[in-house]
Structure 1
Amino acid sequence: MACNYTIDKIDKETCSTSVEEGKRLVSALGCNDCHSPKKMTEFGPIPDEKLLLSGHPQNMSLSEYDPSLPNSGTWILFNGSGTAAVGPWGTSFASNLTPHETGLGNWTLEQFTKAMKEGKSKGLENGRLLLPSMPWMGYKSLNDKELTAIFNYLQSLEPVENLVPAPLPPL
């Protein structure tokens, strides 16, 4: 499966162009900032290429923090990998965007579009709204061609098995 079509039914050049455009958009929109676990280097944290866009690692625990900070409404805390955010809403974890079944593997383009344009969790009509720090409201202006390119790029990634934890309520 590539570009939402079985391989024998697609124009490979169009698909390749779409995937490359999706890669460019994912980079420009900063998706790696939150959805890719980081490794520390002498220049600071950089996305771990082996875990690219795989979301908050399922076995990564959060460090202790002063719960009065996010509950004050003046602070948002991020973990060192940038994959978890704590604020007045509770704790949210960056989703796995790879095509593994624990990520976007079972998603349709329509679900992806609904999530990005309407902020619906898992792209489901009755899904809760996506939590901070996902800036979906800024992505509503992406057109269908751009969203298709992003989806096609994400579907072209190496699948990473990583069941991201569910959000946590405020302390």
Structure 2
Amino acid sequence: MRMVLRVSFGTMAAVAAWLGPQPALAQDPALLDRGRYLVEVTGACGNCHTPMGPQGPVPGRALAGGMVFDEPPFRAVASNITPDPETGIGRWTDAQLARAIREGIRPDGSLIGPPMPMTLYRGLSDRDVAAMVAYLRTVPPVANAVERSVYRMPLPPSYGPPVTSVAPPADHPVARGEYLVNAVAHCMECHTPMLPNGQNDRSRLGAGGVEFRGPWGVSVARNLTPHESGLGSWTDAQIIRAVTEGLSANGRPLAPPMAFAAYRNMTQQELGDLIAYLRSLAPQP
């Protein structure tokens, strides 16, 4: 016997909050669109969470995890962040997923380690983290069990106190750019020198110098500050070309792991905000 249950929208919202993950059709279209932009473009989550083959991203495996980051302090394996219930985040509640993104804590209480930029993701606004969660519910689930990461360095007890509420940035180019570069695109995670404890040296914000090894060889994160050894002599157009096309000021191709394929879809306003913020940084040699 089939039962048809009719409930009000208010009741549906209450039940959805109690049950946790719900179908994307129940979500706000504007929120989903924002989440897609954050995950696929400025956040470039697939740059780490989508497995790569010789020809680029493996078809049909978007956000399914498995990328390995083998560095002296750790062998980190990107997790499956598709809604697969067995190997991904399908059984996680919205609150658990939001907590994992902003605080680096899984539902079982274990801590997510580097290279996830947890100290920066703590700055994601409430609406943006809700948008990311909503969008991740809509991506095709992929069954892909990945191995556990191994850390040869002590992880902190936490990345800070619980995140309660984060407001969006002030409506000003530099403030919006700071939010974009740090909390969303996490540029400073790669472009700021590291301390021995694995944390960024915030006193040298944007000074570059971090090395990345891969099939391309060794790439070194550029100095993003207005110093003469950084972007001091670059025009706005050259910076935009570097971010969206992967070409240096002199036309030389830039190496991975910069997510040029994602950043090329950034809006003109956000590219302008990014430049405004980078121009505001203290010059670092």
What is the TM-score with the length of structure 1 in the denominator? 0.63
User: Rg bigger for which structure?
Assistant: 2
Q: Does 1:29 align with 2:185?
A: yes
- Computed over aligned residues only, the root mean square deviation of the Cα atoms, in angstroms, reads 1.4
Q: Does 1:141 align with 2:268?
A: no
Matched pairs, number: 114
Supply the AA of the counterpart residue of 2:190.
C
Q: Separation in 1 of the partners of 2:213 and 2:200?
A: 21
- 1:45-64 alignment, distance < 5 Å: 45-56=198-209
Supply the AA of the counterpart residue of 1:38.
M
Is the CA contact 2:177–2:270 (under 8 Å) kept in the aligned structure 1?
A: yes
What is the TM-score with the length of structure 2 in the denominator? 0.38
Identify the match of residue 224 of structure 2 among 85, 94, 97: 97
Q: Separation in 2 of the partners of 1:101 and 1:145?
A: 26
Alpha-carbon displacement from aligned partner over 1:1-53 (angstroms, at most 9, x marks no partner):
xxxxxxxxxxxxxxx81000000000110101210112244xxx222111101
Q: Alignment partner of 1:39: what SS? A: coil
Q: Sequence identity, in percent?
A: 40
1:19 aligned residue: 174
Is the CA contact 2:238–2:248 (under 8 Å) kept in the aligned structure 1?
A: no
Could you list the runs of 4 or more consecutive aligned residues of structure 1 that deviate by over 4 angstroms after TM superposition?
A: none
Q: Alignment partner of 1:130: what SS? A: coil
How far apart are residue 88 of structure 1 and its match?
2.0
Alpha-carbon displacement from aligned partner over 1:92-150 (angstroms, at most 9, x marks no partner):
0000000001001111111111111211122x4xx122101111211111111101111
Supply the AA of the counterpart residue of 1:145.
Q
Q: Tell me, which stretches of 5 or more residues in structure 1 are unaligned?
A: 1-15, 57-82, 162-171
Q: Alignment partner of 2:279: what SS? A: helix
Is the CA contact 2:181–2:274 (under 8 Å) kept in the aligned structure 1?
A: yes
How far apart are residue 160 of structure 1 and its match?
0.3
